[in-house]
Structure 1
Amino acid sequence: MAILILGLVLFLGMHSTRIFAPGVRANAVRSMGLIPWKGVYTLVSLVGFVLIIWGYGEARYNPTWVWVSPGWTRHLSALLLIPAFVLLVAAYIPGTHMKAKLSHPMALATKIWAFAHLLSNGTLADILLFGGFLVWSILYYAIARRRDRAEGVTYQAVSVQRDVIAAIIGLVLYGAFAAVLHEWLIGVRPFG
């Protein structure tokens, strides 16, 4: 479990610097330069991500159950992940109405993903992993929106077609992940 916790601290910690500790990020960029900072950021994030995968995988061999979710929560989780995939894609397509309205659709996608997985998974490792991402994404979203308002940052919508493209790509990715990739990458069949 310590490996999972260390991975979460590294990964979420690095992804929190601009929001929770902008001075640390600014000082690092000033002292080492933007490109080296991005290199450190990427390296620490990757190490954290690998530790999360390793720690969560190890915890699954000897799970500590906190609760056992009813079977129907699996279906609810699968349903909730549809908008999560669409929002995730919308974060990368500039000019969507979703990004213009929500500002940070990836943070919302992360919230939905984490909440959906907490509904249908009840081990201590699940609570640490998905609960950690849920708390982080709630805080990140609130602080990022506040920062955007303070700095006058807005996101402009270009056309509805971009939202349609985000929705189609999100649905295709959701289908691929639900049908094949989740089992291949995670070892769990969402519908089986």
Structure 2
Amino acid sequence: MLVLILGLVLFLGVHSVRIFANDWRSRQLARLGEKGWKGLYSVISIAGFILIVWGFGLARQQPVLLYVPPMWLRHLNALFTLLAFVLIAAAHVPRNHFKAKLGHPMLAGVKIWAFGHLLATGMLHDVLLFGAFLLWAVVDFVVCRRRDRLAGTVYPAGEIKGDVLTVFAGVLGWAVFAFVLHAWLIGVNPMR
């Protein structure tokens, strides 16, 4: 469990610098330059991600049951995850109403993904992983929205074309991950 926790601290910690230490981040960006900062950020993120994957695998070998979710919540999680994939796609597809309305659809997608998985799983390692991501996404979303309001940030208006592309990309990504990659990468078939 310690490897998983260390991975979460590194990965979510580096992704939280702008939340809790934006002035420090600005100083480091000026000192290291954009490429240097992004390089350091990427190395820490990748190290954290590797530790999360490794630590999660280790923790799954000695599971600690906290609660048993009803089967219908597992099915509901498929819908939550579908919506999360659409929102994550919205962060990358230009001129869609999701981004115009939310400003940060990827964070909204992470919140929905984590919440759905908390409903569908009940092991300690699951609660630690998904709970940490949910807490981080909630805090980051609130901070980013506040920063946008203070800066007067306005996102481009959404268009139907952007919405259609967003939904198509999200559904396609979800289908590939849910029906093929999740079982292969995670070892759990979510469609069973």
Q: Give the gaps of 5 or more residues in structure 2.
A: none
What is the number of equivalent residue pairs in this alignment?
A: 192
- Could you report, residue by residue, the CA deviation over 1:23-77 in whole angstroms, capped at 9, with x for unpaired residues? 1211111111111000000000000000000000100011011111111111010
Alignment-derived partner of residue 86 in structure 1: 86
For normalisation by structure 2, the TM-score amounts to: 0.98
Q: Distance in 2 between matches of 1:50 and 1:114?
A: 19
Alignment-derived partner of residue 171 in structure 1: 171
Q: Secondary structure at the match of 1:81?
A: helix
Counterparts of residues 24-43 of structure 1 (less than 5 Å): 24-43=24-43
Q: Aligned AA for 2:150?
A: A
Report the identity percentage: 51
Alignment-derived partner of residue 10 in structure 1: 10
Q: Is the 8 A contact 2:66 2:124 kept in 1?
A: yes
Q: Is the 8 A contact 2:98 2:158 kept in 1?
A: no
Alignment-derived partner of residue 119 in structure 1: 119
Q: Distance in 1 between matches of 2:135 and 2:108?
A: 12
Alignment-derived partner of residue 54 in structure 1: 54
- Could you report, residue by residue, the CA deviation over 1:70-98 in whole angstroms, capped at 9, with x for unpaired residues? 11111010111111110000001121111
Q: Secondary structure at the match of 1:33?
A: helix
Please report how far the alpha carbon of residue 158 of structure 1 lies from its aligned counterpart in structure 2 after TM superposition.
4.8
Q: Distance in 2 between matches of 1:80 and 1:159?
A: 24
**1:138 equivalenced with 2:138 (yes/no):** yes
Please report how far the alpha carbon of residue 20 of structure 1 lies from its aligned counterpart in structure 2 after TM superposition.
2.0
- Could you report, residue by residue, the CA deviation over 1:90-114 in whole angstroms, capped at 9, with x for unpaired residues? 0011211110100000000000000
Q: Distance in 2 between matches of 1:19 and 1:95?
A: 26
Q: Aligned AA for 1:63?
A: P
Q: Give the gaps of 5 or more residues in structure 1.
A: none
Q: Would you identify which runs of 4 or more consecutive aligned residues in structure 1 move more than 6 Å? A: none
| Cα RMSD, aligned residues only | 0.9
Q: Aligned AA for 1:183?
A: A
- Could you report, residue by residue, the CA deviation over 1:124-150 in whole angstroms, capped at 9, with x for unpaired residues? 111110000000000000000000000
Alignment-derived partner of residue 147 in structure 1: 147
Please report how far the alpha carbon of residue 10 of structure 1 lies from its aligned counterpart in structure 2 after TM superposition.
0.4
Which deviates more, 28-37 or 105-114?
28-37
